Chain A
Amino acid sequence: MQNNDFVRRFQSPGGDRIISRVMHIDLILFVLLLILCVFGLVVIYSAGGQDLFYVKRQFVFMIAGFILMLLVAQFPARSWERWAFVFYGFGLVLLAAVLIFGVGAKGAQRWLDIGVTRLQPAEFMKVCVPLMISAYLGKRFVPPVAKHVFWSVFMVILPTLLIVRQPDLGTGILVFVSGFLVLFLAGLKKRYLIGSALLALAAVPMMWIFVLRDYQKQRVLTLLSPEDDKLGAGWNIVQSKTAIGSGGVSGKGWTEGTQSQLNFLPESHTDFIIAVLAEEFGLIGVLTLFTLYLLVIVRCILIAINAQSQFGRLLAGSFGLVFFFYIFVNMGMVSGILPVVGAPLPMISYGGTAILTLFIGFGMLMAISTEPKRIRTQL
């Protein structure tokens, strides 16, 4: 069939090689992630005030991430499918624990202190939720019937609410979207899509009144007119736009960005790191990073299309799409077209849990991509 030939041509060239078979490594993905990590370290060095402190910590997390990814990849995709509910359940327990025992920063309780380091369980839910939903729907009818839709939605909403309660609106939205994308890829019928769109619309005022905290509302209002409050809530957006804009096409040069080096830019090594990159490497830097990201996403989608099971398809597809969504939300908020919510730039922003989570996700993708082919008699 025409369609299959098209797909086959884009299959991994290394798919049949020994190394990827035995080691369960997707070489293209591996190389892309390596490049992204190096890129991230370079920007973090500059954003962290040209101090190796953050670079060292991030480097350790990245090494741990790669090891974890390869470890995860060694388990067959089926086992992840089977054990999905355990991870999901564990994640929920952690989330509940955060609300009870969590340590806070800046008015929110997001971390769980486990002695060695601090964890952000909400970050883990970014991978646990799509894993759970993919596992749940992978074994069921396509497209999902009402009952399955209901349980899926329930399993998405529950952690989302726990996360928004912390409060961490950004991660909440990302987790919700990651779960919803699985449903969408599983063929969620149009009537559900329209229905959920309407529901979302209705939810906006409800969220405004009951869920959002004052500072979160302020961020939304600030988005609408950041100039109103230049020294207050609008400061972040004004400064990050200035950083991006003043970078121009070619940038001010590495570690030469005045906005970030002189601390005008808030959160420059975490959520706002793209502004540092844009200021110092210009539009060229932004396009380079964006191209790397798109290559990762394309690779994820190809892995999804070539996956041997519905579970693999759903997980890899939703992961690729939600990876893009992270980028969209982060780059959108930093450039002032989306409200400021706590959303790191994947692979680049400083943050241990986020990096580990992403690597776990990519590990699962590698497990999916290197799954032995089933004989497809029907083709």
Chain B
Amino acid sequence: MEHEAAFSDPTRERNIFVGRIIIASFFVVVMALVILARYADLQVTQHQDFVTNSDNNRVHIRPVAPARGVIYDRNGEILADNRPTSNLTIIRERTKDLNNLITKIGSLIQLSDADIKRFYKRLERRRPFEQTPLKFNLSAEEQAILAVNEYLLEGIKVSARLTRSYPKGELFAHAVGYVGRINERELGAIDSIKYSGTDSIGKIGLEKFYEQYLLGEVGSEHVETNAKGRVMRVLDQTDPIAGNDLVLHLDSRLQQISHDAFDGERGALIAMDIKNGGILAMVSAPSYDPNLFVSGISQKNYDLLVNSTDKPLFNRAIRGQYPPGSTVKPLFGLIGLTNKNITTDTKIEDPGFFIMEGIERPWRDHNSKRGGHGSDVDLAEAIIESCDVFFYKMGIKTGIDALSSQSAIFGLGAKTGIDLPGEVSGIMPTRKWKKESRNATWYNGDTINMSIGQGFMLTTPLQLAVMTSRIASKGNIVQPQIVKSINNKAQPTILLPNASKIDEKHWTYIHRAMKDVVHSTKGTAKSISSGLLYQIAGKTGTAQVISINADEDYDKSKLNKRQWDHALFVAFAPAENPEIAIGLIVENGEHGSSVAAPIARKVLDAYMSNRADREKQLVSKSKILETEQGYLAYAE
């Protein structure tokens, strides 16, 4: 059959062929329909999905970091600004073998183990396609090396960003504070969108307190990228809004002089504008360089700072709590006078010690040789010469309740409300306080201790300045603040109603007594009066670090310096028309008169000469203005 057919039969050949072609054509039609259905499905049914995919592919929204607000001192000197730096970042999604890449980078530029460790930590909490920083502050050489080798290092990016910088270094560390990398705890608390452009946040000081003003608003740009993540063009952009600039009351020159005046001593100083509460200088010595913290401090540096016995990171000005010692005497004298427990005619005899009935142990007068201040000691003399026995007696008469409740009006025992985080309240003890904290009743002995600023009483240097300011202004209660204006908008002075009902004559009396502390020949701070062109009113103080028994002498040569008394001084100037108040402490400085008061003198001198300069400038400025206006008028 087959053979027969095989003898060339073109018709049969053709018919078989046509039959097969028809079968094949059927398959062709089916397959063509499958293909067309597939394309129609992709391009019509699923079109929208793929449009989304395609846009996701090419369009990325990139946050654009706003410039953080700049911080200026009152004269326009920059205390904190932003400098461009280059950082090495890696986009995880763009690299195939991350470990290999890091090894390669490590062979080109120096990478510390800490860098790598921190990088992996950051990597864990990054957003997809985010640039994760590996190394900050690349040197010019490192940038060049990376630029040359970029083609070998897929996924790396050298990106410029603004880094916070503190040109004054340690000078303002405790006031301005610093920014640092956002840590995990903070990450949970912040709005991740607001912070999408930045990886730092105010950690301490003004940087933390005014974080929401300084931050600014993040901008965004839609960028079209190619498959390698290279940005081809920016489609549209919403500009970031820079953070608000802060102008402070702080005065760089005054701050520098205050800082230098400590000359290696530990301590703190607050200088405050009496009229508006503005903080003119704020020193906590020793200080540290805040720039170390900006890009993440190295463990070594951090250990150095944390383990130092001088505690440079500790802001003594608002967090240090010290017994105020004799610096509270003018205040307590005022309270005694107001409550009529004493009058300006009250005189006592001071044998050098005080004995309370029923108590065997006498109270010493710390500020006199054996034998005491003698007879006929009145309030003024008790302040000028710092007589303890007068205040022991007055304290008993006035009583704890009046002392503490009226001291509170002067800012003791409560936070002053300064615009800094972490302020502590000190202790202005009351019966209730002792009951609650010590579970003990209040004894007269406690009142006696407290009446010379010892015992349970604790104050911060800031509180001393605030107290002095309120005495100087005769009871005006202004809240201390560091920031003068935000974005050129002046911050209002926070004035509270004057709650003290103190006679004008009592104010005058106390002011005069404080002036005489410096200017009288008997004054404990007379040493700073030489060559003064203006008058200072002040009060020295000494705070015991360890208690000395009445029958023992305080002999510093027997003690470690860390156990020496703290030296304190409060002051305002000019005495007749007060403008500036100071509270300061020198830790283990021994005596307010010899160590603390000279620091205050330097600061006040600087303030007064600044003031004189300012007045001169003001005069010349207005002259220039006049001539300019005249010129303009002429030109028109």
Interfacial residues, chain A to chain B (CB-CB below 8 A): 3, 7, 140-143, 145, 181, 184-187, 231, 238-239, 241-249, 258-259, 262-264, 278, 282-283, 286-287, 290, 294, 297, 301, 304-305, 310, 313-314, 317, 321, 324, 327-328, 331-332, 335, 337, 376, 378
Which of B11, B28, B47, B53 sits near A297, CB closer than 8 Å? Answer: B28
Say if the beta carbon of B256 comes within 8 Å of chain A: no
Q: Are A259 and B43 in contact (CB under 8 A)?
A: no
> Could you tell me the distance between the alpha carbons of A74 and B10 in the complex, rounded to whole angstroms?
25
Q: Are B14 and A282 in contact (CB under 8 A)?
A: no
Q: Mark B1-39, 1 if CB is under 8 A from A, else 0.
A: 011011001111111111111001100100110111011
Q: Are B6 and A141 in contact (CB under 8 A)?
A: yes
Known interface pairs A242-B54, A245-B49; A262-B21 also in contact (CB < 8 Å): no
Give the Cβ gap from A128 to chain B, nearest Cβ, in Å: 21
Q: Are A231 and B93 in contact (CB under 8 A)?
A: yes
Known interface pairs A246-B50, A283-B44; A378-B24 also in contact (CB < 8 Å): no
Q: Are B16 and A283 in contact (CB under 8 A)?
A: no
Give the Cβ gap from B591 to chain A, nearest Cβ, in Å: 73
Known interface pairs A242-B50, A246-B51; A313-B42 also in contact (CB < 8 Å): no
> Could you tell me the distance between the alpha carbons of A156 and B224 in the complex, rounded to whole angstroms?
49
Q: Which residues of B are found within 8 Å of A301, using beta-carbon distances?
A: 21, 25
Q: Are A283 and B43 in contact (CB under 8 A)?
A: yes
Chain B interface helix/strand/loop/mixed: helix
Q: Which residues of B are found within 8 Å of A305, using beta-carbon distances?
A: 14, 17-18, 21
Q: Which residues of B are found within 8 Å of A263, using beta-carbon distances?
A: 226-228
Q: Are B35 and A258 in contact (CB under 8 A)?
A: no
Say if the beta carbon of B520 comes within 8 Å of chain A: no
Which of A7, A245, A332, A335 sits near B47, CB closer than 8 Å? Answer: A245
> Could you tell me the distance between the alpha carbons of A30 and B19 in the complex, rounded to whole angstroms?
27
**Chain A, Cβ-Cβ closest to B19:** A187
Which of B9, B17, B51 sits near A185, CB closer than 8 Å? Answer: B17
Give the Cβ gap from A284 to chain B, nearest Cβ, in Å: 9
Interfacial residues, chain B to chain A (CB-CB below 8 A): 2-3, 5-6, 9-21, 24-25, 28, 31-32, 34-36, 38-40, 42-44, 46-47, 49-51, 53-54, 57-58, 93, 224-228, 232
Q: Are A310 and B13 in contact (CB under 8 A)?
A: yes
Which of B12, B21, B54 sits near A142, CB closer than 8 Å? Answer: B12
Known interface pairs A185-B24, A301-B25; A264-B36 also in contact (CB < 8 Å): no
Q: Are B21 and A248 in contact (CB under 8 A)?
A: no
Q: Are B50 and A142 in contact (CB under 8 A)?
A: no
Q: Which residues of A are found within 8 Å of B54, using beta-carbon distances?
A: 242-243, 245-246, 258-259
Q: Are B42 and A335 in contact (CB under 8 A)?
A: yes
Known interface pairs A245-B46, A248-B44; A264-B39 also in contact (CB < 8 Å): no
Q: Are A245 and B53 in contact (CB under 8 A)?
A: yes
Q: Which residues of A are found within 8 Å of B40, using beta-carbon distances?
A: 283
Q: Which residues of A are found within 8 Å of B39, using beta-carbon distances?
A: 244, 278, 283, 286, 331, 335
Q: Which residues of A are found within 8 Å of B50, using beta-carbon distances?
A: 241-242, 244-246
Which of A7, A259, A283, A286 sits near B57, CB closer than 8 Å? Answer: A259
Known interface pairs A263-B226, A324-B28; A184-B43 also in contact (CB < 8 Å): no
> Could you tell me the distance between the alpha carbons of A184 and B38 in the complex, rounded to whole angstroms?
28
Known interface pairs A263-B227, A264-B58; A304-B21 also in contact (CB < 8 Å): yes
* Inter-chain pairs besides A3-B15, A246-B51, A287-B36, 11 sampled, C-beta below 8 Å: A7-B18, A142-B6, A184-B24, A187-B16, A243-B54, A245-B43, A262-B58, A283-B40, A297-B28, A331-B39, A335-B35
> Could you tell me the distance between the alpha carbons of A231 and B44 in the complex, rounded to whole angstroms?
26
Q: Which residues of A are found within 8 Å of B227, using beta-carbon distances?
A: 239, 262-264
Give the Cβ gap from A368 to chain B, nearest Cβ, in Å: 13
> Could you tell me the distance between the alpha carbons of A335 and B460 in the complex, rounded to whole angstroms?
75
> Could you tell me the distance between the alpha carbons of A337 and B38 in the complex, rounded to whole angstroms?
8
Give the Cβ gap from A171 to chain B, nearest Cβ, in Å: 19
Can you give 16 A-B contacts (C-beta < 8 A)?
A: A141-B6, A142-B6, A239-B227, A244-B42, A245-B49, A245-B50, A245-B54, A246-B50, A248-B43, A248-B51, A283-B40, A305-B17, A305-B21, A310-B10, A317-B24, A332-B35
Q: Are B226 and A264 in contact (CB under 8 A)?
A: yes
> Could you tell me the distance between the alpha carbons of A312 and B46 in the complex, rounded to whole angstroms?
44
> Could you tell me the distance between the alpha carbons of A104 and B597 in the complex, rounded to whole angstroms?
88
Q: Which residues of B are found within 8 Å of A314, using beta-carbon distances?
A: 17
Q: Which residues of A are found within 8 Å of B6, using beta-carbon distances?
A: 140-142
Q: Which residues of A are found within 8 Å of B228, using beta-carbon distances?
A: 263
Q: Which residues of B are found within 8 Å of A187, using beta-carbon distances?
A: 16-17, 19-20
Which of B9, B14, B49 sits near A313, CB closer than 8 Å? Answer: B14
Give the Cβ gap from B54 to chain A, nearest Cβ, in Å: 4
Q: Are A245 and B58 in contact (CB under 8 A)?
A: no
Give the Cβ gap from A375 to chain B, nearest Cβ, in Å: 12
**Chain B, Cβ-Cβ closest to A145:** B2
**Chain A, Cβ-Cβ closest to B51:** A246
Q: Are A321 and B5 in contact (CB under 8 A)?
A: no
Give the Cβ gap from B363 to chain A, nearest Cβ, in Å: 81
Q: Which residues of A are found within 8 Å of B47, using beta-carbon distances?
A: 245-246, 248-249
Q: Are B225 and A262 in contact (CB under 8 A)?
A: yes
Q: Which residues of B are found within 8 Å of A140, using beta-carbon distances?
A: 6
Give the Cβ gap from A74 to chain B, nearest Cβ, in Å: 26
Give the Cβ gap from B456 to chain A, nearest Cβ, in Å: 67
**Chain B, Cβ-Cβ closest to A335:** B38
Q: Are A246 and B17 in contact (CB under 8 A)?
A: no
Q: Are B20 and A184 in contact (CB under 8 A)?
A: yes
Which of A231, A245, A378 sits near B42, CB closer than 8 Å? Answer: A245
> Could you tell me the distance between the alpha carbons of A313 and B10 in the complex, rounded to whole angstroms?
11
Known interface pairs A187-B17, A245-B42, A317-B21; A142-B57 also in contact (CB < 8 Å): no
> Could you tell me the distance between the alpha carbons of A249 and B42 in the complex, rounded to whole angstroms?
10
**Chain B, Cβ-Cβ closest to A318:** B24
**Chain A, Cβ-Cβ closest to B6:** A141
Q: Which residues of A are found within 8 Å of B36, using beta-carbon distances?
A: 286-287, 290
Q: Which residues of A are found within 8 Å of B16, using beta-carbon distances?
A: 142-143, 186-187
> Could you tell me the distance between the alpha carbons of A262 and B39 in the complex, rounded to whole angstroms?
22
Interface centre among A231, A244, A337 (most CB of B within 10 A): A244
Which of B13, B32, B43, B49 sits near A278, CB closer than 8 Å? Answer: B43
Q: Which residues of A are found within 8 Å of B3, using beta-carbon distances?
A: 141
Q: Are B43 and A247 in contact (CB under 8 A)?
A: yes
Q: Which residues of B are found within 8 Å of A258, using beta-carbon distances?
A: 54, 57-58, 224
> Could you tell me the distance between the alpha carbons of A304 and B24 in the complex, rounded to whole angstroms?
13
**Chain B, Cβ-Cβ closest to A314:** B17
Q: Which residues of B are found within 8 Å of A184, using beta-carbon distances?
A: 20, 24
Q: Are A142 and B5 in contact (CB under 8 A)?
A: yes
Q: Which residues of A are found within 8 Å of B9, using beta-carbon distances?
A: 142
Q: Which residues of B are found within 8 Å of A264, using beta-carbon distances?
A: 57-58, 226-227
Q: Are B226 and A249 in contact (CB under 8 A)?
A: no
**Chain A, Cβ-Cβ closest to B36:** A290
> Could you tell me the distance between the alpha carbons of A119 and B5 in the complex, rounded to whole angstroms?
44
Q: Which residues of A are found within 8 Å of B21, using beta-carbon distances?
A: 185, 301, 304-305, 317
Q: Which residues of B are found within 8 Å of A290, using beta-carbon distances?
A: 32, 35-36
